[in-house]
């Protein structure tokens, strides 16, 4: 296949659609995407306000961090934010734009040309084997070694425990920045499944041994996915006719503790927005995040509108404000743990 021409075709289709593409494929870019041109914390190195996407990022997809440097287009931005190779980024964008369902993409794939195909397979095989390896290294969250996980939840006033086949504990997981291992931490590893319930990737929350978030720039990270993430969630409890949906795992567990309803974590606002409930669900309760950007409420309302057209009943619960000074937002786990602290 001719890489050069193919990339040019995908690039041409992506022009004018990068906000949507980047939001779906790189949830860490969301804060920047909702305010193009404005500075937000860098999705890779953290900090206060070093990163922005360009004003015209919907056209070209580029952005710049004052510390990490410029990423001139959407492919470069995806590779950087998700730690992807070019082939993986190109294929993800093509899939997102549904350019892979026929036409040039499948035609290109069926044309055997050794080098690019093997590069693509290498990236995918590497990502898949990393997922398998990390999952195989995890331990039971109820076990003695998993104390950091339980301390982390208890610090938030949470004692509801999810399905131990879905949320597990890793005793010493490497933490990487720009493909360089900068530390090893205990971690919560959660299995993210697609809309049909098939595992597609893993979500990581890096911890300290005493149950705080690890002192790294991005303590929560998704691994590259093998399949379609859109529509999926972390299925923390078996669904009933009623199903709660949150962004965060902690929020889901806090809701579970107070309502006893089955709750799934959508991981990000973009994924909550795209969430597809399984067959048999007749009521979805969205426990939305209250963000300064308004992103959480926007996602909840989009999901609500779509589910209503499917004949599913929907309730949206937004945390009562105000958002504490210095915080980016407020979720239900925050609301309840603030109440606990105030009462103590």
- Give the range of 57-65, 122-130, 175-183, 243-251 binding Zn ion by CB under 5 A: 57-65
Dist CA 94 CA 104 (whole Å): 10
Kindly tell me which of 44 and 263 has the beta carbon lying closer to Zn ion: 44
For Zn ion (CB under 5 A), the number of binding residues is: 6
Nearer to Zn ion, 68 or 333 (CB): 68
- Cα–Cα distance between 6 and 246 in angstroms, integer? 38
CB 68 within 8 A of CB 42: yes
Stretch that binds Zn ion, among 35-43, 75-83, 140-148, 296-304 (CB under 5 A): 35-43
Q: Which stretch binds Zn ion (CB under 5 A): 41-49, 136-144, 263-271, 307-315?
A: 41-49
Considering the rule CB under 5 A, would residue 68 count as an interface residue with Zn ion?
Answer: yes
H or E segment at 200?
strand 199-206
| Residue 37: CB minimum distance to Zn ion, A | 17
35, 38, 39, 45: residue in contact with Zn ion (rule CB under 5 A): 45
Q: Which is nearer to Zn ion, 46 or 199 (CB)?
A: 46
**Does residue 65 bind Zn ion (CB under 5 A)?**
yes
Closer residue to Zn ion (CB): 63 or 262: 63
* Residue of 21, 42, 192, 233 interacting with Zn ion (CB under 5 A): 42
Please tell me whether residue 59 adopts helix, strand or coil conformation.
Answer: helix
Nearer to Zn ion (CB atom), residue 77 or residue 94: 77
Asked if 53 touches Zn ion (CB under 5 A), the answer is no
Q: Is 274 in the site for Zn ion (CB under 5 A)?
A: no
Torsion angle of alpha carbons 211, 214, 215, 219, nearest 10°? -140
DSSP string, 85-136: -HHHHHHHHHHHTT-SSSHHHHHHHHS--HHHHHHHHHHHHHHHHHHHHHHH
39 binds Zn ion (CB under 5 A): no
Output the smallest distance, CB 45 to Zn ion, in A: 4
| Whole-angstrom Cα Rg for the chain | 20
Q: Is 51 helix (H, G, I), strand (E, B) or coil?
A: strand
Question: Alpha helix locations (H) across the chain?
Answer: 3-14, 18-25, 30-33, 57-60, 74-82, 86-96, 103-110, 114-136, 147-155, 249-259, 269-273, 295-309, 332-343
Q: Which residue of 8, 55, 56, 67 would you call a contact of Zn ion, by CB under 5 A?
A: 67
Phi, psi of 57 (to 5 degrees): -60, -25
**Distance between CA atoms of 334 and 123, rounded to whole angstroms?**
38
Q: How many angstroms separate the CA atoms of 107 and 13, rounded?
A: 17
Cβ neighbours of residue 12 closer than 8 Å, sequence gap 6 or more: none
Dihedral through CA 137, CA 139, CA 263, CA 25, nearest 10?
-20
Region of 45-53, 54-62, 112-120, 182-190 interacting with Zn ion (CB under 5 A): 45-53
Question: With respect to Zn ion, which residue has the nearer C-beta, 41 or 60?
Answer: 41
Question: Shortest approach of Zn ion to residue 103 CB, angstroms?
Answer: 37
Only one of the segments 43-51, 121-129, 207-215, 246-254 lies at the binding site for Zn ion (rule: CB under 5 A); that segment is 43-51
Span from 65-73, 92-100, 203-211, 273-281 in contact with Zn ion (CB under 5 A): 65-73
Using the minimum distance from each CB to Zn ion, give the nearer residue, 107 or 182: 182
Q: What are the residues binding Zn ion (CB under 5 A)?
A: 42, 44-45, 65, 67-68
């Amino acid at each position: 296949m001719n890489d050069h021409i193919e990339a040019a075709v995908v690039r041409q289709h992506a022009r004018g659609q990068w906000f949507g593409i980047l939001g779906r494929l790189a949830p860490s870019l969301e804060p920047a995407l909702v305010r193009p041109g404005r500075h937000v914390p860098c999705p890779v190195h953290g900090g206060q306000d070093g990163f922005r996407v360009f004003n015209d990022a919907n056209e070209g997809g580029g952005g710049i961090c004052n510390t990490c440097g410029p990423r001139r287009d959407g492919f470069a931005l995806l590779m950087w934010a998700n730690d992807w190779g070019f082939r993986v980024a190109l294929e993800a964008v093509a899939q997102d734009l549904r350019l892979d369902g026929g036409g040039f993409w499948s035609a290109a794939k069926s044309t055997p040309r050794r080098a690019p195909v093997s590069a693509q397979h290498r990236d995918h095989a590497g990502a898949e084997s990393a997922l398998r390896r990390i999952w195989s290294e995890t331990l039971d969250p109820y076990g003695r070694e998993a104390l950091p996980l339980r301390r982390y939840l208890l610090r938030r006033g949470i004692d509801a425990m999810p399905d131990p086949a879905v949320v597990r504990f890793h005793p010493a997981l490497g933490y990487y920045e720009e493909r360089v291992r900068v530390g090893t931490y205990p971690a919560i590893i959660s299995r993210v499944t697609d809309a049909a319930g098939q595992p597609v990737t893993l979500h990581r929350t890096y911890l300290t041994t005493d149950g705080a978030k690890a002192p790294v720039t991005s303590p929560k990270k998704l691994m590259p996915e093998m399949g379609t993430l859109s529509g999926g969630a972390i299925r923390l409890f078996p669904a009933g006719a009623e199903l709660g949906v949150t962004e965060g795992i902690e929020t889901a567990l806090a809701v579970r503790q107070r309502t006893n309803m089955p709750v799934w974590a959508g991981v990000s606002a973009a994924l909550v927005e795209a969430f597809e409930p399984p067959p048999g669900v007749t009521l979805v309760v969205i426990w939305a995040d209250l963000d300064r950007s308004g992103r959480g409420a926007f996602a909840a309302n989009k999901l609500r509108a779509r589910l209503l057209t499917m004949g599913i009943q929907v309730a949206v619960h937004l945390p009562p404000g105000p958002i504490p000074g210095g915080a980016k937002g407020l979720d239900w786990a925050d609301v309840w743990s603030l109440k606990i602290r105030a009462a103590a």
